[in-house]
Structures are given as C-alpha cells and as structure tokens.
Structure 1
Amino acid sequence: MAAEVTTVLFDLDETLCEYIRSGVERLAEAFERADVEPYFTYDEYVREVNEVGGTESDIRRRESCFVKLARKKGFDESIGLRVADAYEALTDYTEMQLLPDAEQVLDTLADQYQLGLVTNGGPDTQSPKIDALDIRERFDTIILAGYETAAKPHPEPFQQALSEFDATKEQTVYIGNSLSSDIVGANKYGLQSVWKPHARSLDDVNPTAKPTSSSVEIPDYQIDSLQDLTERPWQSE
C-alpha cells in the first residue's frame, strides 16, 4: 500500500508565479541596450546558471555565467559584463504575479498538508519575490537552493526540506515546471513528482513524447493548471 502523502513541496518561478516581463524579453532588450549582437539564448543561460552553486549572490552568479558564455563564443569578458549590467538594470524582482488559482490552491492544500517551497536562487532575488507576492506565511519551510544548499536537481535541497518535516520521501510530493531541475531532482531523490508545464518554460516538451527521455525525466503526474491540484492527482491510484 502506498504511503499517504503528508507533505507538498513547490517550486516558485513559473510554477506559482511569473515575471510580468519574461526573462527572454529582458535578455533581448539587454543585448539591445548594451549594443551587443545576441551571442547566447535564454535557454543557454539557464542551463549554465543551474550548474553553478556556491554562496555568491544571484547577481554575481549571473555575471559569471554571462562572462563564461562570452568566452565560449569567442567574445571578451567585458562584453559579458556589459550585457549582465544591462540585464540587471531591466530586472525588478518585485514585478511578479501569481499564476491563476495559486492562492486558492495553497489555501486548499494547507488544510491537509504541510507545505514547503524549494526554489533555486539566493535571498537577493528570491526574497523580494516571495515578499512582493505575500506568500511567505503560506509555507512551513522555504529552501533557497543554490544558496543554502546545492541547486536543484541536486538532492540536497529536497533533503533539507524534508529534514524540516516529519515526513518520508514516499509521503512527499514535489510540484514544478522544469523537467531538468524539478522533475529530475524530485525523481532522483525519490519524491513523487508533479509536472506543471508553463508557457515560458524552456523544456516544455511532453517527456513521454521524447524518444531520448530517461525515466528520471518522466513525472509521476502531469497537470495543466494549478487548479488540477485540488483533485490531488497523487490520490488517484
């Protein structure tokens, strides 16, 4: 008999909320402001930054990634710094909006489960978002992965979250939009995974349709909207 779920963990960006202006839009404008021909895509940036850990700020980590990508493409590091400065000037971490039904779903699930937030990013970027959205008090624990722990998909942030709860892996569900960090991370650690694709997500491809997909990329459940969580898909079996 499957263990009863007692704990539900969420990703933040593009799972519960989104920037009013997407990262893709801001990066395109940053290249324009810096008067630099685009030399990498937002997809390439995210994949690069997810591999970088440590306790440095997200802003410094972004600078490092922009510089590293500049070097890879044969540009001087000053080009990367120029684009990074322009991107930061265009980014307001309080200009966030909750996705439809996010508040209702969090309220509904809080009546039955312990709730946690496990998000990649440090306090300089994630704390302003959480406070602007006024959702800090909705979670029993908040883990800033990539700052307090290794970044997802590393198991450490999930392990840290469970240490805050009286729950086992089998009793825990993780909900996220990214196959590469959320679903792979949750699956490898042994949590039940729920994939909620987002229109802006970089890897929004049905994993079961990809012939090269490994088992760790395939979520236990897939939902179309946060509202679907009120049906508690993990109880359907």
Structure 2
Amino acid sequence: MLTIIFDVDDTLYDQSRPFKIAAQAFFDRTFTEEELHELYISSRKFSDELFHQSTTGEVSVEDLQVYRITEAAKTFEITLNRQEALHFQADYLAELKKMTLFEEVEQLLTLLHQQDDIQLAVLTNGEKEHQAMKIDKLRLDRWIPDNHLFISGALGVAKPDKRVFEIIEVQLGLDKENTIYIGDSFDHDIVGAKQVGWKAIWMNHRKRTAPRKDLAPDYEVQHPKALLDLFKNESL
C-alpha cells in the first residue's frame, strides 16, 4: 500500500495570506505587497529560532508568538510592546480561522482518497491545540481519519528529528519504500523524510533555494497545480 503524508502549514494552505491581512489592518502604516511578504518571512525566521525551545517547554508558546512579531516589526523600525504583540496575534488567529485549502490540494486529496490502495496521513509541527484547530478548520477529516493525524506537540518530538517519522512508521505500519512525504520546509520536511528512507516532494511554492546540495527531494513543485498534475501524470 502507498502511504502519502502531508505537512499542513504552507503546504495545504497559504499561510502568508492570513498573516498579511492581519498585518495590513493592525499596523498604522501601509505596506506594499513586497514589504508584507518580507514581514511574513521575517516572522517565520524568528519563529523558527525559538521553535525547538517551545517544543521542549523552555519557552512558552505565547513568548514565541510575541518574539516573532516584535522582532519582525523591528526590521521596519516598528517597536511593539508585549500587549501590542499579543493583540496582533489575536488578529492573526482570527484571520487564520478563515483559512481554506489550496483548490488544487483539495482536488488532490479527493483524488487520492478515492483509491483503495492509498492511505493518507498528516504530520505537522506545532502546539497540539493550535495545529488541531487548523486541521479542523481545513476539514481534513473528509479524507484523513483521526488516528492518521500526527502533531509534534502531542508526540513530544518534532521534525526533522527522525524519531517522529519512526513513530508514524510504527503507528501506520507503513513500508518506507512506498511512503511519500509532502512539505514546504526543506530543513524540516525534506531532510526529515529522506533521512529515514521515505520519498519526499518539496512543495516549494515560495521558490526558495535548497540549503543543501548533498540531499535532494525526489520531486520539486512550485505551485499546488503542479503537485496535482504530478500525481495525475506520474507513476509514484
């Protein structure tokens, strides 16, 4: 049986869209689209800086949320206090709850779900309740059973640590050679999947440069439509 496992953030939906809407409404200035993108990318960078500490409990989720937006705002010479940062987080969360799947990803999930020889799953990094909210809002239960939904915050270990991939191998009884992982993060998703012998598809719709030359995904796509076409046209 073929097992196909998806990341969530910026793989199944556009994570930047709710952030940009919240930022444009919250900050007392007008951003160009390029500046909004820069602010978003900066916030993700600072979020990644503290992600490991938040996973181990050294840093609270709230402290991470405050840090990533206050530091990102500094790149535009904007100073936010803690209360303002939490206000932005609330606005961002409100927009995040309106998230929708990429249209082509919804089509892909429906296509794969109709095939008896394929099992689907999700593996996402993040705090349990927050990621569970996203899974619920995206209505992934239409295609993926609850016991195939894996959140790092619930497992106590996060991508790219090979242990989280090994947990899934046991839980799903999967065959490494017939397992495909799809994600947008090279460091977390591609490195994590390849190190345990899975196939990996890099959903590189942000058109990032691969940080490593010694390791490559099996496939790279730069648009959700290309991902859909890959499964329609390739014998994976």
Asked if these proteins are the same fold (TM beyond 0.5), I'd say yes
Change in Cα spacing, 1:43 to 1:126, as seen in structure 2 (3 Å) is closer
- For 1:9 and 1:106, the matched residues in 2 are separated by 11
Alignment partner for residue 130 of structure 2, among 110, 117, 125? 125
Unaligned runs of 5+ in 2: 30-38
Alignment partner for residue 106 of structure 1, among 101, 105, 109? 109
Q: Are residue 14 (structure 1) and residue 14 (structure 2) matched? A: no
- For 1:99 and 1:135, the matched residues in 2 are separated by 13
> After superposition, what is the alpha-carbon deviation per residue over 1:101-154, rounded to whole angstroms, capped at 9, x for unaligned?
222211222213110000112232222222222112411400112442322122
SS in 1 for 2:229: helix
* C-alpha contact (below 8 Å) 1:54/1:146 kept by paired residues: no
Structure with a larger share of its residues in helix: 2
SS in 2 for 1:115: strand
What is the deviation of 1:24?
5.0
What is the deviation of 1:197?
1.7
- For 2:90 and 2:168, the matched residues in 1 are separated by 30
Which shifted more, 41-50 or 100-109?
Answer: 41-50
RMSD, matched Cα: 3.4
What is the deviation of 1:176?
0.8
| One-letter code aligned to 2:45 | E
- For 2:9 and 2:100, the matched residues in 1 are separated by 10
* C-alpha contact (below 8 Å) 1:8/1:174 kept by paired residues: yes
Alignment partner for residue 187 of structure 1, among 170, 177, 194? 194
- For 1:106 and 1:51, the matched residues in 2 are separated by 30
Structural mapping, 1:76-155, within 5 Å: 79-80=81-82, 82-92=84-94, 93-110=96-113, 111=115, 112-140=117-145, 141-155=148-162
- For 1:55 and 1:139, the matched residues in 2 are separated by 29
* C-alpha contact (below 8 Å) 2:13/2:102 kept by paired residues: yes
Unaligned runs of 5+ in 1: none
Report the TM-score, using the length of structure 2 for normalisation.
Answer: 0.73
> After superposition, what is the alpha-carbon deviation per residue over 1:29-53, rounded to whole angstroms, capped at 9, x for unaligned?
65659xxxx8x92242232243331
Change in Cα spacing, 1:79 to 1:205, as seen in structure 2 (3 Å) is same
SS in 1 for 2:172: coil
Change in Cα spacing, 1:213 to 1:115, as seen in structure 2 (3 Å) is same
How many residues are matched? 213
- For 2:120 and 2:3, the matched residues in 1 are separated by 6
- For 2:82 and 2:68, the matched residues in 1 are separated by 5
Alignment partner for residue 64 of structure 2, among 59, 62, 65? 62
2:212 alignment partner in structure 1:
213
SS in 2 for 1:101: helix
* C-alpha contact (below 8 Å) 1:20/1:96 kept by paired residues: no
Report the TM-score, using the length of structure 1 for normalisation.
Answer: 0.73
Residue identity over aligned pairs, in percent, reads 26
* C-alpha contact (below 8 Å) 2:200/2:218 kept by paired residues: yes
- For 1:27 and 1:11, the matched residues in 2 are separated by 25
> After superposition, what is the alpha-carbon deviation per residue over 1:153-198, rounded to whole angstroms, capped at 9, x for unaligned?
2223222222221212222110011112111211122211001122
